[in-house]
Amino acid sequence: MDHEDLRRAIVDGCHALEAQGLNRGASGNVSVRACGEMLITPSGVAYDRLAPEMVAGMPLSEPDGRWSGPMKPSSEWRFHRDLLRARPDLNAVVHTHAPFCTILSILRRPIPAIHYMMAAFGGVDIRVAPYATYGTAALSAHVVAAMDGRNGCLMANHGMVVGGPDLTRALWLAGELEALAHQHYHALALGGGHILSDADIADAAKGFASYGVQPRHG
Ligand SMILES: [Zn+2]
């Protein structure tokens, strides 16, 4: 995809987050890697007004926050950029304040292996990145650490972030992470439940190995 296609895909992705109820209070932001640059949703634009030309560009190689475009990038650009820099396996990052992820982030409870779909995230649990003020380098460092070897994490008293090899996969993971949080929330309310073993998750992971392909299941 060229830059124009990627900008359109980002706008479409934002609309998909909205349609799934994942974009609590217009909090979501989306980024993709594009030839040494990061394309990211702009700051302070409602999704129904978002147009492809409003998507901001930021060089991945520079230490500062230099950007290009008619509107400044999302105030959350730092952890998007740092994840794309630290993780060559990720080409798209999605961040939202999805309701159930955010509730569990307030409890600062990792999500254990309550469902085999956990295997899609590269480990046996979803970690919680410690709290730091939005937009800061401290928050970014916490997120990069919580994402080590994983495709998703919660962010304490804030929300969640997922990353994937492409935007389609990252958007799919955003919905799956909110589903896990929703399931865990209700299981906790009913007293807990059973947690799958590491071997169960390793077995399930075999079906998630195809790069960029969504698993068949059900
Ligand atoms: Zn946020």
CA of 193 to the centre of ligand 1 (A): 30
CA of 24 to the centre of ligand 1 (A): 10
- 119-166 pLDDT, tens digit per residue, is 999 999 999 999 999 999 999 999 999 999 999 999 999 999 999 999
Question: Which is more confidently placed, 217 or 10?
Answer: 10
76 is catalytic: yes
CA of 185 to the centre of ligand 1 (A): 20
Give dist(CA 73, CA 31) in Å, integer.
10
CA of 213 to the centre of ligand 1 (A): 27
CA of 177 to the centre of ligand 1 (A): 16
Q: What is the pLDDT of residue 125?
A: 97
Residue from 4, 18, 37, 76 carrying the catalytic annotation = 76
CA of 141 to the centre of ligand 1 (A): 15
- What is the overall mean pLDDT for the chain? 92
Question: Which is more confidently placed, 103 or 207?
Answer: 103
Confidence of residue 210 (pLDDT cuts 50, 70, 90): low
Q: What is the pLDDT of residue 64?
A: 81
Q: What is the pLDDT of residue 209?
A: 67
CA of 28 to the centre of ligand 1 (A): 7
Residue 218 scores a pLDDT above 70: no
The pTM of this model reads 0.94
- 20-74 pLDDT, tens digit per residue, is 999 877 788 999 999 999 999 999 888 889 999 999 999 998 778 899 999 999 9
- 73-106 pLDDT, tens digit per residue, is 999 999 999 999 999 999 999 999 999 999 999 9
